[in-house]
Structure 1
């Protein structure tokens, strides 16, 4: 047998190394992406476990995570860029895994919420560092393919999450967190061995962690006002204080962003037209998405009395549409402008939510009531989200692309937190016949918000932004 030449040996070793790095980082990304659907499916079972907990209180299991993740995603990513991405990734993955164990061990609702926030901190650290490490460890000619695989694994998590969550909840809701422990531990050990470190050569200013805290307070206060509005009233003193607190914290956040050398959001980026419109559209659409998702799950479990497994299987077809139509959108983008693709997806999602509002009844009618609208919504998501993510950074300089992508993801998380809060505000403590009306209002709101996101999406068609 002819011996392999040194050049081929080096190339083969590099390919194996790059493949191992991709596998480890994709597994970590899978864990962070899995959280959304798997916890939503377990939401009803958590409520039964914590007797006396209202829907408003339970919402913080979802919102605490979303708010902390959104506020910390950019500053923690920048800290890792400065001090070492590998150390940041290992710390984030370790914290996410340990916090998952703490979630499973929680005996009270607020202990679970605190553990979920810790989980979000870990996810906010491991997500940007995993992409940065992947780009550094992959040869330039293979980076685009590696990033597509890394992103596809996240889509796979969204598709697998409902079914996995349903199966695990049949054991107990704690298992939706315990499943992270062996996967996280193996990924952590593998990462220590195979992932090379990287960091920025230029040491810029420290990121604005105080600004991130103000952003978290602004989002948290607004969410609090929404989820407590039924108890406090729209004109109640506590509602007014929460709303004012949100406005003040948001104003201080923007003031700091305008003068800080390393703000969470660089104001100059928002002068880039495509970036600004993509963020606004992604935010509004995510409010609709989160409200529609949780409404569909809660309806099946609370009204139709579906088991967690049956709910997971019923939810799965929607997420399965996302990667399929994301691929179709990519092919269509050669002939159709991005704004029209995203706007079409918004309209399809709105049509799906409208179908749910009109056709879903108290008597289970999954095949003729919920499924058509749910799958149509999945088609819409597949057209909207990947298109907006790709379009948001098209006008940004290369040095701002990673930051721009992180800001869009932050906008999505903020929208999802408000979507959950909107559902709580509309459903509240409704029972009996009121429940059908309340959920109908949620689906109507989701449809109107998605329709509102459609014209906003058209803003990404105009490539005349000002580069920061």
Structure 2
């Protein structure tokens, strides 16, 4: 029996309410995104308060969040489609906000890691449901612009997060979590009042495939453990993680193809643009994650900037992302999505090669780093919103939350792979200047290759008539 009542349709929403609804949904997604960048900056301060914890223990503050978030996006996206997107959004927002308070109050490493895991679970529920609401609640003519705004929230979070994290961490690392409380409360109240409860007639009332959800979580989680756990795990453990990921992924694919009510409808992957966009997103986000972390490390270890200086030095690149996205929306909204993605990736690749070419053991930020870094932001601003918007644009209404969860899982897998590959190439944060120069030049060349491959796969993103 259907548990959700149709209260309103998207056509009932006024322009002013559409704007406020977009702001609330994107604001909540922004809160979940910025938390990742803030915690990265505060990482060393957290470690100083828990001196008994090893580096491997501390890494779970970051890795535990990433793994759980990536593992739960698809099952929670399916839950949102089944349970109701507004209900899932409010539940996820509540969990995330309360878990943030738990992080701030943690007096032991285990409680901090547990709270981070709960944060990830809340974020995994609110992220796909927020995009699903944009694609179903807003009037049709407002959706494309709202999706691009939603897609640029991660870039804005990357711009604001490091600087804000540096400032907050100067007082206490606990403030990086406390700040989520007022934002979460305000967003929750606004969402409850603004967002109508809509149950599209086409939404299935079938039971959620819980076993399929478990397989998805195990597959993504074990793959993430294999990639990020190379410093904490033995070779045999890493092999075991890969084997488990392959076996559960194969089982999941079989279940998706043949089960009566799979966690991910196979019809999703019959949408050509959706499939190619996800492949492109994985490659792109692998390059993006490696680039962001490499520049942050380069600024601190080679350029010799302080924590706060690094945070503000990072800002120009991400600031260029929403600016580029705005101009694309204003002047190139009718251009072919694959052309925009190819152009954006090409700019990204050129910028990465420029960083490699200009690198030296005595880098000058304003000459050797900032111009190429801003060019990276322009490329990302052109490519990323277009990829995400294209992936979800042609999906039927009853698959939007699940589809957006698949898209976001692709992004998270790319982020995990990018960080892991960067660490594998650089090897250590304590390198001699010449060794660091060679390692980062190699990293930026590989990042350029990743962006080029992303441009190549974008050829499959064809506009649907």
**TM-score calculated relative to the size of structure 1:** 0.84
Match of residue 76 from structure 1:
76
Compare 392-401 and 270-279 and name the one that shifted more.
Answer: 392-401
- Counterpart CA distance in 1 for 2:13 and 2:212 is 44
Q: Is the 8 A contact 1:100 1:178 kept in 2?
A: yes
Structural mapping, 1:146-157, within 5 Å: 155-157=155-157
Does 1:214 find its partner at 2:215?
A: yes
Match of residue 260 from structure 1:
259
Residues 50 and 301 from structure 1, CA distance in 2 versus in 1: closer, same or farther, beyond 3 angstroms?
Answer: farther
Q: Is the 8 A contact 2:73 2:405 kept in 1?
A: yes
Structural mapping, 1:407-422, within 5 Å: 407-422=406-421
Match of residue 443 from structure 2:
442
- Counterpart CA distance in 1 for 2:348 and 2:170 is 30
Match of residue 340 from structure 1:
339
Shift of 1:385: 0.9
Shift of 1:122: 0.8
Residues 243 and 441 from structure 1, CA distance in 2 versus in 1: closer, same or farther, beyond 3 angstroms?
Answer: farther
Match of residue 5 from structure 2:
none
User: Residue 460 of structure 2 aligns to a residue in which SS?
Assistant: helix
Does 1:223 find its partner at 2:224?
A: yes
Shift of 1:224: 3.1
Per-residue Cα deviation, 1:6-64 (whole angstroms, up to 9, x for no partner): xxxxx999666555544443432331232233233333444444447666654443333
Match of residue 96 from structure 1:
96
Match of residue 309 from structure 1:
308
- Counterpart CA distance in 2 for 1:356 and 1:47 is 31
Structural mapping, 1:4-403, within 5 Å: 20-51=20-51, 58-133=58-133, 138=138, 155-201=155-201, 202-229=203-230, 236-330=235-329, 333=332, 336-403=335-402
User: Residue 198 of structure 1 aligns to a residue in which SS?
Assistant: coil
User: Residue 205 of structure 1 aligns to a residue in which SS?
Assistant: coil
User: Residue 431 of structure 1 aligns to a residue in which SS?
Assistant: coil
Compare 337-346 and 309-318 and name the one that shifted more.
Answer: 337-346
Per-residue Cα deviation, 1:198-238 (whole angstroms, up to 9, x for no partner): 345554223334333333333333333334446767xx323
Per-residue Cα deviation, 1:348-368 (whole angstroms, up to 9, x for no partner): 212222333343344352112
| Structure 2 residues without counterparts, runs of 5 or longer | 1-10
Shift of 1:92: 1.1
Residues 417 and 63 from structure 1, CA distance in 2 versus in 1: closer, same or farther, beyond 3 angstroms?
Answer: farther
User: Residue 318 of structure 1 aligns to a residue in which SS?
Assistant: helix
Q: Is the 8 A contact 1:329 1:387 kept in 2?
A: no
Q: Is the 8 A contact 1:304 1:364 kept in 2?
A: yes
- Counterpart CA distance in 2 for 1:34 and 1:395 is 28
- Counterpart CA distance in 2 for 1:257 and 1:62 is 31
Q: Is the 8 A contact 1:166 1:312 kept in 2?
A: yes
Compare 309-318 and 213-222 and name the one that shifted more.
Answer: 213-222
Residues 346 and 58 from structure 1, CA distance in 2 versus in 1: closer, same or farther, beyond 3 angstroms?
Answer: farther
Residues 140 and 357 from structure 1, CA distance in 2 versus in 1: closer, same or farther, beyond 3 angstroms?
Answer: closer
Q: Is the 8 A contact 1:426 1:438 kept in 2?
A: yes
Match of residue 6 from structure 1:
none
Q: Give me the CA root mean square deviation.
A: 3.3
Shift of 1:71: 2.8
Q: Is the 8 A contact 2:348 2:375 kept in 1?
A: yes
Q: Is the 8 A contact 2:81 2:399 kept in 1?
A: no
User: Residue 206 of structure 1 aligns to a residue in which SS?
Assistant: coil
Q: Is the 8 A contact 1:67 1:414 kept in 2?
A: no
The ranges of structure 1 where at least 4 consecutive aligned residues each deviate by more than 6 angstroms after the TM superposition are none
Shift of 1:141: 5.9
Compare 291-300 and 397-406 and name the one that shifted more.
Answer: 397-406
Shift of 1:247: 1.4
- Counterpart CA distance in 2 for 1:172 and 1:90 is 29
Residues 343 and 63 from structure 1, CA distance in 2 versus in 1: closer, same or farther, beyond 3 angstroms?
Answer: farther
- Equivalent pairs counted in the alignment come to 452
- Counterpart CA distance in 2 for 1:83 and 1:54 is 41
Residues 342 and 54 from structure 1, CA distance in 2 versus in 1: closer, same or farther, beyond 3 angstroms?
Answer: farther
Residues 394 and 231 from structure 1, CA distance in 2 versus in 1: closer, same or farther, beyond 3 angstroms?
Answer: closer
Shift of 1:67: 3.0
Residues 263 and 327 from structure 1, CA distance in 2 versus in 1: closer, same or farther, beyond 3 angstroms?
Answer: farther
**TM-score calculated relative to the size of structure 2:** 0.84
Per-residue Cα deviation, 1:406-430 (whole angstroms, up to 9, x for no partner): 3222211111122222233333445
Shift of 1:105: 2.9
- Counterpart CA distance in 1 for 2:387 and 2:287 is 16
- Counterpart CA distance in 1 for 2:57 and 2:318 is 27
Shift of 1:95: 0.7
| Structure 1 residues without counterparts, runs of 5 or longer | 1-10
- Counterpart CA distance in 2 for 1:441 and 1:109 is 35
- Counterpart CA distance in 2 for 1:387 and 1:206 is 33
Q: Is the 8 A contact 1:55 1:428 kept in 2?
A: no
